[in-house]
Amino acid sequence: MGERQAARERRRAREFEAFVGGAGGRLLHAAALLTGEEAPHREAAERLLTAALARTYAAWDQLRGEDPYDRTRQELTARFAHAAWHRRPARTGVLGGLSRQERLILVLRLYEGVADEQIAAQLGLPVERVRALCTRAVAAMRSNAPAAGRRAEMAAP
């Protein structure tokens, strides 16, 4: 019994490490977009991701075919949304100037490609509200950072 449990724990640790090695960069990028942190400083994003990954690790044996990436993204979203009420919007980062909710919706919708209905269900908002917030955030991004947009286009021809 003890031997079997130890073997299961080792396997879980190995699979988890491989998962973080493969998906960690993308998840950390998403977390940094949410917290609005610029390149070398990602303390808040790393804290957020560590907490989300810990929950994924704890649920690893009960995933039953669910994608651990989706699970971690859900944890990340829930944690970020939970703290969304009593924090001021960040002024830095690509999404600087947007509200936390707008940033969350933009990252989920455009960066992660999550469907509107799924976002609405996860945030407890009507779908129309999610679409409206997304449209507003896209408009704000395009008017806020035309220079940044051009820079990105020049960098990637």
Residues that bind another protein (CB under 8 A): 13, 16-17, 20-21, 24-26, 28-29, 32-33, 39, 42, 46, 49-51, 53-58, 60, 94-95, 106-107, 110-111, 135, 138-139, 141-142, 145, 148-149, 152-153, 156
- Minimum Å distance from CB 133 to another protein? 13
- For residues 108 and 117, the answer to whether their CB atoms sit within 8 Å is no
- Minimum Å distance from CB 141 to another protein? 5
Residue whose CB is less far from another protein, 2 or 124 = 2
Task: Quote the tokens at residue 112.
Answer: 């992660």
Longest dimension (CA), the chain: 62
Best CA proximity match to 101, nearest among 72, 132, 73, 70: 132
- Minimum Å distance from CB 36 to another protein? 12
Mention every residue, 6+ apart, whose C-beta is less than 8 A from residue 60: 12, 15, 16, 68
- Minimum Å distance from CB 149 to another protein? 6
